[in-house]
Structure 1
């Protein structure tokens, strides 16, 4: 049996950490025999780095059991932790100087995770062996709780789940003897060796933590656009293992469109050498208003589809759970989970393309209105009596700051001789005025083009200021081809414009940042939302807090 044991060094307010001494003892006097091998690992008292070192250590050592220790404040020598909370919230910094207040550990993850082990039985076993112990429902919100939550999630999501336990130990001055923790550790291992541990819902002995192709989890993300569709298959580590892209023929009706979606899904699975039954879930991001609960496409004007029961049709054909969401919501969710907004409590996304879309994620949930769709920031009025918008109103953000609106303005500038470099490169045909051409013309001295971009950024900032005054997000993510081509220009002027217009208390309280995931945001966000929405976290369910 191979056991990995982790401890921590001292941290602010705790100059001596007895778990560091345990690791030192295990290194100086190793436990290694044919029946039992113990690997000691000292983790940093840092939110981010503790995750990295833990993950790398488990992947390298492949233990059968992980026992983690941290120092607490309780007088009882050992406190076995039942519950990890998905939140960092401490008054002191970690050893890297990072303060965290109300920050989710895993954005979009379950709010609580509970140990699957009979900790009352283990506490009794420890007491009988001379090691006083109690169970606990509150591990705090510092790095110990961070590791507890992350470790449980890591253990339960592994290809073959492995047992994990976090124990708080009393301060060094309250422990009975210098070798108390080493002896208690051996007693814990003895108890685990005697247990028929729960694995996958059935009783089985401890299993060696190895990869099994049959046990792997696969997810699919699907991005449905106005002219093309993309399917990507992800493994349990969120690596892309296959993808398939198809164009949507103009005039394709809803029935034909769903058939093409299905063929794209099936071809991507074939490339991955999988079947629909291998998928734990499929998420699909679609343009336009969506009824997320029913998976119903309410109105897709660019495709001419209305009231399409997409979730029902896909699930009936694939025999696989499906989650449907708006494509901009998917992009925002991806940035929240894996991109530029990681670690934020509240983040908004603004994506400028043919139109301008927006999304908001708060505490892991996509913000939704009464009709399951909201955050149409592109239709916030920013100019009285401005240009007519496609929605029928005037002066919407989309009508003055989308890619099409900007292209129309720079085409006029080129026609009037104010953008000679752009005229030389692209002419006045809107179809030729791409993000790269605009960037190049600015670099070559077309000041009129730069002024148009700055003015569009000002309008985006006006809309964002209104949102900041309403919900006060920590991060605003800007995306779209234009922002990707000229991030510094957009970020500088959007941030300046927004900060001029927010309440004084909110000035500089938020960051405007460029999107990090680019074209992958929508398809990845759809897959990540499926993982969260469909509850496929190894059967883990949230529990009520008792603290």
Structure 2
């Protein structure tokens, strides 16, 4: 049995538990500490160290992060302090805890967990895990192998930024009922289906706990859609699985400087700007002259 501590950094709480990576089972009750206001690196590191000490853990540690992670360096910070951008977070956490730490994007961690122990078990081909919460996280799995940092919540649907329009937060902010939100979710999923043709969509994040309210409303013609099975444990389990995969591997050298990835502006349009759709522009009737 391999026991690895998994830690899930979230917007409201940072939680962790030791995981048996052979079964995906938590070996102790989850311990949760509120995320420090502003989620600055030093404050989050203090909480991570506290969790490691709480479980008296001295082995490898897997940690999720709500943003792009490349070779342990955090490259975006959509919902946390901007000080994370370009930070060697692997090294920061390793130095603070004395453990071998491996960082992974939070949705990617959920994807690994669902593919091995959840709704994606035994499903061949392309599986896409989407976490609907404050935003929309995405994990792309092909025959059990993760393609990291897809960030498909930042796609645009004509003039709609996907996660700003179809996330669980958007449902709450726009006071949508479940039928109204489901129409948005289906529009988004249809776009992903056109681009990737997955065999299965797994819907995770906070929305998965309310699957009985949307399960019969979110359907597609080609791809199957199911709720996630691991719920709040997915991040912890996936982080531990990733640390097991990476433990013992030599980490690549870090560049002297890292260019930040501004994911909100990396799609076809910048947030807050409008660009005419080429089809609409070609077919739009001429404006009437004012008298």
Same fold (TM over 0.5): yes
Runs of 4+ aligned residues of structure 1 deviating over 6 Å after TM superposition are: none
Distance 1:318 1:409 in 2: 42
The residue that corresponds to 1:246 in the other structure is: 33
Is 1:312 the counterpart of 2:91 in the alignment? yes
Pairing partner for 1:470 from 158, 171, 195: 195
2:19 aligns to what?
A: 234
1:359-508 alignment, distance < 5 Å: 359-368=139-148, 373-374=149-150, 376-382=151-157, 384-385=158-159, 395-410=160-175, 452-485=177-210, 487-495=211-219, 498-499=220-221, 507=222
SS at match of 1:300: coil
Q: Which has the larger radius of gyration?
A: 1
Are 1:256 and 2:36 counterparts? no
User: Aligned partners of 1:323 and 1:349: how far apart in 2?
Assistant: 21
Q: Distance in 1 between matches of 2:39 and 2:188?
A: 35
Q: Is 1:356 aligned to residue 121 of structure 2?
A: no
**Aligned partner of residue 473 in structure 1, secondary structure:** coil
Q: CA distance change for structure 1 residues 364 and 241 in 2, over 3 Å: closer, same or farther?
A: same
TM-score computed with the length of structure 1 as normaliser = 0.42
SS of aligned partner of 1:302: coil
RMSD: 2.2
Aligned length: 244
Task: Tell me which of the two structures has the higher relative contact order, counting C-alpha pairs closer than 8 angstroms and 6 or more residues apart.
Answer: 2
Normalising by structure 2, what TM-score? 0.76
Q: Deviations over 1:23-76 (max 9, x none)?
A: xxxxxxxxxxxxxxxxxxxxxxxxxxxxxxxxxxxxxxxxxxxxxxxxxxxxxx
Equivalent position SS for 2:27? strand
Q: Hey, what's the Cα distance between the residues in 2 that align with 1:330 and 1:252? A: 20
Distance 1:341 1:238, change over 3 A: closer
Which aligned pairs between 1:282-301 and structure 2 lie closer than 5 A?
282-291=61-70, 293=71, 295-301=72-78
Whole-angstrom distance in 1 between the partners of 2:44 and 2:97: 16
The DSSP-based 3-state class of the residue aligned with 1:494 is coil
- What is the correspondence of 1:50-69 to structure 2 with a 5 Å cutoff? none
The separation in 2 between residues aligned to 1:251 and 1:396, in whole angstroms, is 24
Q: Which residues of structure 1 form unaligned runs of 5+?
A: 1-215, 270-274, 386-394, 411-448, 500-506, 537-547
1:344 to 109, 119, 123: 123
Matches of 2:112 and 2:129 in 1, distance apart? Answer: 9
Partner SS state of residue 184, structure 2: helix
- The alpha carbon displacement at 1:489 in A equals 4.2
Work out the CA distance in 2 between the residues paired with 1:251 and 1:234.
Answer: 28
What runs of 5+ residues in structure 2 fail to find an aligned partner? 250-291
Alpha-carbon displacement from aligned partner over 1:213-260 (angstroms, at most 9, x marks no partner):
xxx531111101122111111246443223321112213531232122
1:178 corresponds in structure 2 to none
Distance apart, 1:286 and its partner CA:
0.6
CA distance in 2, matches of 1:219, 1:245: 17
In the aligned structure 1, how far is the partner of 2:248 from the partner of 2:143? Answer: 16
In 2, the alpha carbon distance for the partners of 1:517 and 1:238 equals 10
